[in-house]
Amino acid sequence: MTSGPSLSAVRRVLPPGPPIDPYALAGTDGVVFDSGTTLLVGIGRALVIGLGGGLGAAGAADCVQRALATIACEDDGLPGSAVLAFGALPFDRREPTELVVPEVLYRRNADGEEWVTVIGGSSADDPRGDLLARQRSGGTAGEHGDGPTAPVVVEPLSTDSRFLDMVTTAVAAIRDGELAKVVLARQVDVRFEEPPDLPALLARWRALEPNCTVFSMPTSAGRFVGASPELLVARRGSTVVSRPLAGTTRQGSEQDDAAFRGSSKDAGEHRLVVEAIAASLAPLCSTLDVPDRPELVRLHNVVHLGTAIRGVLRAGGSGAVPSALDLVSVLHPTPAVGGVPLALALSTIDRLEDDRRGHYAGPVGYVDADGDGEWVLGIRAATLHGDTARLAAGVGIVEGSEPAAELVETELKFTAVFNALAPGAEFSTAPSGSVV
């Protein structure tokens, strides 16, 4: 953990005034977590909490909570905690990572109420004016164009035929009884003539995927941005919620929806994920509600099966319930991004995938000083570094998976991201130079 002098925070309700453009406020360096009901923007770094052993290290979550507890906060009795730590954690639990407590935190809820927290100094006399000034320095998302006008180049990191071979190998292992499920991913680089306009990209993503959580987080590899449809876990007091997704099809007709609901392959894949998450949460909960039937979760170009699992956490010997980050550590990686059995699935991923996943499919979110927080999976995302965006798309391989169909599913998932990065352009992994 980065050390330094003791810190204090001041939180104030924002007075009415001109609207804040959150993506312009964040600019190219800020943190964004916009779930559609809660919008958070962080600017600057008041504290960096390092986890040298990664999420899987003993006491990692406790380390974060102890660090947050050292920041005294004056908040006029406002609800909830004003001190938050944000992170995009690697898929690999062993990789070193860090969480960041911003110097300035802007928060807006679904009712339009707004707060600002300032760490390391007193709040400004005109907090809204201060935020608007920061917004102007970051840009205004609404003033930007619809996306790149120059051609972009798609460069697959592995060929379509290589991915088909990966799936074929995994299906054979499942048929032999070694695995029940494994999630395999492939990656592509998308190259632009100049770096993407980040505030405009986030604004497009929010318009394109209103049912997703839009995020922008700094990482060691670049800026990790996306619109995730999958809630890994959220904690509010003693309430815990997880909404895993598994099973995918393209948007279609009512008949297509009915066929999707009736697919034994997709239902079985989904059930593996739900059962694993329920089994992990059950020992921590006094009650746990697991619906018998999944719902359809609609995105702009695909439909998933999703199940909202809700529970009431049981207090431990200290009288406290697990923090949001504790719950992340218990759950990640779920079979939605790993597989069953987990250890064998992860070794299969290491053996078959050509490139490390980095932050793809890792947890993205925040935890506050009270232990509340919300974490989504880092899917439908890209890592931006200069004029390049690296995308990954994964598919769940189970008994009955067909390699050609799984390849098409990766194309759908790549396209979901590409449509925000380069609207109007056509995505392809064809080996013809892939200039679009």
Instruction: Delimit the domains of the chain by residue range.
Output: 8-134, 153-421
Comparing 35-39, 129-133, 134-138, 340-344, the range with the smallest average pLDDT is: 134-138
Q: 362-371, pLDDT tens digit by residue?
A: 999 999 999 9
230 classed as catalytic:
yes
Of 98, 114, 230, 269, which one is the catalytic site residue?
230
409 classed as catalytic:
no
Q: 389-433, pLDDT tens digit by residue?
A: 999 999 999 999 999 999 999 999 999 999 999 998 999 887 654
Q: Choose among 129, 126, 88, 82: nearest CA to 102.
A: 82
Query: β-strands 72-74, 8-13: how paired?
Result: parallel
- Residue 109 sits at φ, ψ, to 5 deg, of -100, 180
Cβ contact 274:214 at 8 Å: no
Q: What is the pLDDT of residue 76?
A: 75
Q: How confident is the model at residue 145 (pLDDT cuts 50, 70, 90)?
A: low
Q: Which residue has the higher pLDDT, 319 or 179?
A: 179
Q: How confident is the model at residue 139 (pLDDT cuts 50, 70, 90)?
A: low
Average pLDDT over residues 135-155: 74
Whether the per-residue pLDDT at 1 is higher than 90: the answer is no
Q: What is the pLDDT of residue 121?
A: 65
Of 103, 181, 209, 374, which one is the catalytic site residue?
181
CATH number of 153-421: 3.60.120.10
Distance from the first to the final alpha carbon of the chain: 45
Whether the per-residue pLDDT at 34 is higher than 60: the answer is yes
Comparing 32-46, 172-186, 255-269, the range with the smallest average pLDDT is: 255-269
Comparing 183-197, 218-232, 257-271, 402-416, the range with the smallest average pLDDT is: 257-271
Query: β-strands 84-88, 72-74: how paired?
Result: unpaired
Amino acid at position 431, single letter? P
Q: 195-205, pLDDT tens digit by residue?
A: 999 999 999 99
CA distance 50 to 72: 20
Q: What is the pLDDT of residue 436?
A: 41
CA distance 283 to 226: 32
Q: Choose among 186, 88, 152: nearest CA to 420.
A: 152
Cβ contact 323:65 at 8 Å: yes
Q: Which residue has the higher pLDDT, 48 or 428?
A: 48
Give the H/E segment covering residue 259.
helix 254-261
Average pLDDT over residues 377-382: 98
Q: What is the pLDDT of residue 138?
A: 75
Q: How confident is the model at residue 120 (pLDDT cuts 50, 70, 90)?
A: confident
Average per-residue pLDDT in the chain?
A: 92
Q: Choose among 169, 172, 173: nearest CA to 161.
A: 169
Q: How large a percentage of the chain has pLDDT more than 90?
A: 83
Q: Please tell me the pTM assigned to this model.
A: 0.95
Concatenating the DSSP letter of every residue in 106-148 gives EEEETT--EEEEEESSPPPSSHHHHHHHHHHHH--GGGS-SS-
Q: 298-323, pLDDT tens digit by residue?
A: 999 999 999 999 999 999 888 899 99
